[in-house]
Amino acid sequence: MTQLSPLRLVSLLPSATEIIACLGLVDRLVGISHECDYPPEIKDRQICTSARLSTTKSSGKIHQEVDKLLAAAMSIYEIDLDALARLQPTHIITQDQCDVCAVSFPEVEKAVAKLTNSHPQIISLQPDTIADVWADIQRVGETLHVDWQSIVSDLQERVKVCQTQCQNLQSHPPRVACIEWTEPLMLAGNWIPELVELAGGKPIGGVTGQHSPRISWHDLVAADPDTIIFMPCGFDLDRTRIEAQALTQHPQWQKLQAVNLDRVYITDGNAYFNRPGPRLVESLEILTEILNPQICNYGHHGTGWAKLRSK
């Protein structure tokens, strides 16, 4: 009888690392991306990627650099082929959803083709909706032969608890603009509109299952949301506060109803909303706290979200 080789996993995106962790396979994780930072026990793993741009610049500068790289048909990320060769992974988990979010599937295929001492299987995640995230957890679990049913069932049950708690709380659901990028302005798409609806809100602009659209200031003022929630891709709470404060200087900012109602919030998009993994449930909890503060309290205020205060 042939004995199976022990699993040696490399994750090239943060959400995949969190999926591996929720499946109980942290001890099998040998390599991670430069952006993987959760759970804390994975931080000593070999880093296998790097970025070709600086994320410390302003939103506008980052966007310009991304556009230049994509226009030149260059990947935003680089794979450390020597690190992969040393690690000899049995599986590499990547994504085929967004070239800006992480190393693309074709780039991983090219890297794997150059390996001579191992032949890892590539698992590619493709999340656009919440159901897709559950399907990705299933795909990883089935491929690695570990139980996934109980994990997905528990996550789905937590979503139902939030949904039930928020049902019929407000006769007129607040119209919510979730801002995923500030320069240019972009509204969050994919799974975010679903989360807003589950939390009792009505999303404006973004469409479930579709990529995040750009929006002009004119259209944002015309839409006039009751609530604005900042969740820039890749930014933590402090960085989001800086980016959002810069936006408050726009001459049309004071025209927004959400501003006059004092319903403008910042979130840690990097840890929660931007990662299509198990912590989307915490993201839903954050939204329920923001939209239903008198009823819902999951303990995320101050760490996962805060109200944006004017200077």
- Give the C-alpha separation, 163 to 156, whole Å: 10
Q: How far apart are CA 120 and CA 197, in angstroms?
A: 40
**What's the Cα-to-Cα distance from 104 to each of 37, 109, 145, 176, 282, rounded to whole Å?**
19, 9, 25, 31, 26
272, 279 contact by CB (below 8 A): yes
pLDDT, tens digit, 9 for 90 and up, residues 187-221 = 999 999 999 999 999 999 888 888 889 999 999 99
The CATH topology of domain 9-151 is Rossmann fold (3.40.50)
The span from the CA of 82 to the CA of 217, in Å, is 46
Query: What span, in angstroms and rounded, lies between the C-alpha atoms of 267 and 230?
Result: 6
Residue percentage of the chain with pLDDT more than 90 = 69
- Among 169-178, 264-273, 282-291, the minimum mean pLDDT is found in 169-178
299 token code pair: 């303990």
Task: Determine the Cα–Cα distance for residues 244 and 59; give it in Å rounded to an integer.
Answer: 10
The one-letter amino acid code at 21 reads A
Q: What is the pLDDT of residue 57?
A: 72
Q: Answer for the pair 300, 282: CB distance below 8 angstroms, yes or no.
A: yes
Q: Which of 54, 115, 124 is nearest to 79 (CA)?
A: 115
More confident residue, 87 or 73: 87
Report which residue type is found at 43.
K
CATH 3.40.50.170 fits 171-306, yes or no: no
Query: What mean pLDDT comes out for the span 18-34?
Result: 97
What are the CA-CA distances from residue 19 to residues 130, 133, 177, 195, 282 (Å)? 14, 9, 28, 19, 14
CA dist 97 and 126 (Å) reads 5
pLDDT above 90 (res 96): no
- Reported as a single tens digit per residue, the pLDDT across 221-273 is 999 999 999 999 889 999 999 999 999 999 999 999 999 999 999 999 999 99
Q: Which residue has the tokens 């962790």?
A: 21
- Tell whether pTM > 0.85: yes
Percent of the chain residues past pLDDT 70, beyond the cut: 91
Rounded CA separation 230/240 (Å): 7
Provide the token pair at 154.
């528990």
Domain spans, the chain? 9-151, 171-306
What average pLDDT does the segment 62-70 reach?
A: 70
Same CATH topology for 9-151 and 171-306: the answer is: yes
